[in-house]
Copies of this chain bind each other. A is one copy, B any other.
């Protein structure tokens, strides 16, 4: 019976996780099997994991190199798994080690490169993914010097946003149009609570999650759009036209209704 036995759904997901720690499918399956039957022989592992018997040997050899199993000196050989905590720890720390090395090298490349500092100016950038957007947004707000104008309809980020705004320098004038505010309103912050206009609500977008505009120092603007279907997209630009457009948009919102 050489057919690959179909592993449990749990096992498949688990194998996926282990893959990103640098294991192959077989290495993952063999290690999992070994946890269920410590001190197993190659044949037992083969039967339990569904991995072909001939493949079990090289896989165990690799796992041994990676310090996830130890080997008995009996005949037949028996194999013993490193405890999961230690195993994961060992794999992860090797990845973290690589990450640290990569980080320093990349940073050196990044700082050495004589890339133009103000090239952003006339370009409009698309940014995908919630985290990516969040990062860039907080970064942009942090750099605010004079003024921040915000139209904000995005429940998910609200807490973090408020926190960040409150931490800005006192000189920065902040104007916010949003649907609800749950924090202190300090001197320089001006909140206008307003439901989103019907025109937007009537849009044929099935699952609206976010619709935001951020204008910083009248020089940079970022707009965020999000729906459950398409995920989050943001546009960022320092282009004069772009900023002017969304300043108008902001004014329209301010005076509407």
CB-based contact A109/B36 at 8 Å: yes
Q: State whether A92 and B90 are in contact (beta carbons under 8 Å apart), knowing that A14-B105, A85-B103, A126-B73 are contacts in the complex.
A: no
Q: Is the CB of B88 within 8 A of A124?
A: no
| Chain B, residue nearest A115 (CB) | B38
Cβ of A74 under 8 Å from chain B: yes
Q: How many copies does the complex hold?
A: 2
Looking across the interface, which residue of chain B has its beta carbon closest to that of A19? Answer: B98
Chain B residues contacting A73 (CB-CB under 8 Å) are 123-126, 235
| Chain A binding surface SS class | helix
Chain A interface category by residue count: 35 or more
Minimal beta-carbon separation of A29 from chain B (angstroms): 12
**Among B10, B86, B105, contact of A10 (Cβ-Cβ < 8 Å):** B105
Q: Which residues of A contact B (CB under 8 A)?
A: 10, 13-14, 16-18, 20-22, 32, 35-39, 64-65, 67, 70-74, 78, 80-88, 90-92, 94-96, 98-99, 101-103, 105-107, 109-110, 113, 115-116, 119-120, 123-129, 131-132, 135-136, 235-236
